[in-house]
Structures are given as C-alpha cells and as structure tokens.
Amino acid sequence: MRVPQGVYRMYARRLRRRLDPGLLPRHVAVAMDGNRRWARSQGFADAGVGHRYGAEHLDDLLAWCHGLGIGHVTVYVASADNLAKRGSGEVAHLMAMVEEIVAERLTEPANPWRLHLAGRLDTVPDSTARALKGAVEATAHRDGAHLTVAIGYDGQTEIVDAVRSLLEAEAAAGGGLRELAARVTEGDIDAHRYTADLPGPDLIIRTSGERRLSSFLLWQSAGAELSFCDVYWPGFRHVDFLRALRDFAERRRERLAGR
C-alpha cells in the first residue's frame, strides 16, 4: 500500500525532531548499490538508466547531510572490480554520469561541498579523470563540507598502497626495514591512506539489501557502525536515511552508557 505523501513528510519530520545533534555521525559513508536492479524493478528496458537516477540522487543525500550539519560524506561510486568486469558500454554510461552530474554540479558556485577522491584514477577514462581532477581544483577553497568520491576504488588496494607509500617514505628518509618493522603503528599506516587528512567514517550505509562491505573502506570501517538497507539506491528515501541515523544514535548512546 502506498503511503500518502503527507503522512510520509510528517513521519520524516518526527524522526528528525527526535535526533540528538550530539549523537549524529561526523562522517557518513554510503555504498550506493542497486542502480541497475532499481531500473529493472521500475520497468526500464535499459538497466543503465539506473545510473542516471543514482547520480541525480547524490544531490539529495548531500542536502540531507548538509541540513543536519554532517560535514563529511564518502560515496562508493564504482569499485575497481566493477570497472574491470562490467561491459564497456555500461562503464562508459556510468562515467558520463559522473562527469555530467557529479563533477559538473560540484563546481557550481552555490554548491558548498569540497571534492576529494579515493581510488586509482588510472582505472577510469581520461575524460572522467580530467573532470574529477578539475572539480577537485575548483572546489579546493571550500571548507566545512567535504565529499569524497571513491571511484576505481578497492579497500584492500588502498591498504597495500598505504603500506607501499610508508615504505617509500622510510627509504627516502634513509631508514631501514628492520627499524620500521620494530616501531610501525596503525597510525603510521593510517597517515598514508588515500584521504589521510580526513576523518574516517562513523557510519557506513549500504543500500540494496546486500550485507557486505565489498572492499569499501576496509581499514576505516574498524570503528564504524554499519547500516544495511533493503532499498535500492535510487529509491533510498529521506526516512531511510533518518532511520539509519536514529539507529546509529541509539547504538552510540548504548556504547557511551557502557552497555
């Protein structure tokens, strides 16, 4: 049964009023999964249409977060595995959406978000890499609202790259492997991840009903709360987001109480 919009809006307002600002996550990460399945469920012959709706829906997520004062958002746009295994036509369509909707809109003067990138840009088309790098440069002066786009990304690869970077930095400083092995800490590796200057996520949401991280922020997820939603990403509603925040706040409250 379809819920009337008035009832839906009233429920969303009630959920938001009940959120404790002191228990909101500082950083929300979202694996935006289910674009193609959503398109099929809506009767579209071309499942790739879901990528456009999914890209458009990022605007809603950012507005929700900005309205609540959540200043850090990370979105999983495309994994390195997806880019390698999906058909060339689908990948080209997805990358066009990233260029035309994500990168282009972020550069608009009224947009408050500063763009950061996580992943290997050598796995995406040159035009996409240029568009994203241009958006990074165009938004570098902004502060207070930070969006990280994980594209061509793999969490295991990020850890490998971080360790490699740490070893290279040690060698450049004249240090040896034995000395490094004796004193290396989690903080040393953390300082070499893709977005080391940004905080890790407090809450990771995955849509589409899947109950796994699929190599999304593996290192950073160690202390994060996880939320899995059965709704496909283009159909992920404001109330779904608010429910995830409500559950996060309840778990944080219990943790603070020592339960």
Instruction: Give the active site residue among 20, 46, 82, 190.
Output: 82
Q: CA angle 89-94-97, nearest 5°?
A: 130
Do 160 and 218 meet the contact criterion of CB atoms below 8 Å apart? Answer: no
Is 82 in the active site? yes
Do 97 and 174 meet the contact criterion of CB atoms below 8 Å apart? Answer: no
Q: Which of 122, 69, 131 is nearest to 102 (CA)?
A: 131
Burial environment of residue 126 by CB neighbours within 10 A (0 to 12, 13 to 18, 19 or more): exposed
The two structure tokens encoding residue 92: 């080209």
Is 33 in the active site? yes
- Hey, how many other C-beta atoms are within 10 angstroms of the C-beta on 222? 9
Q: Which residues carry out catalysis? A: 33, 82
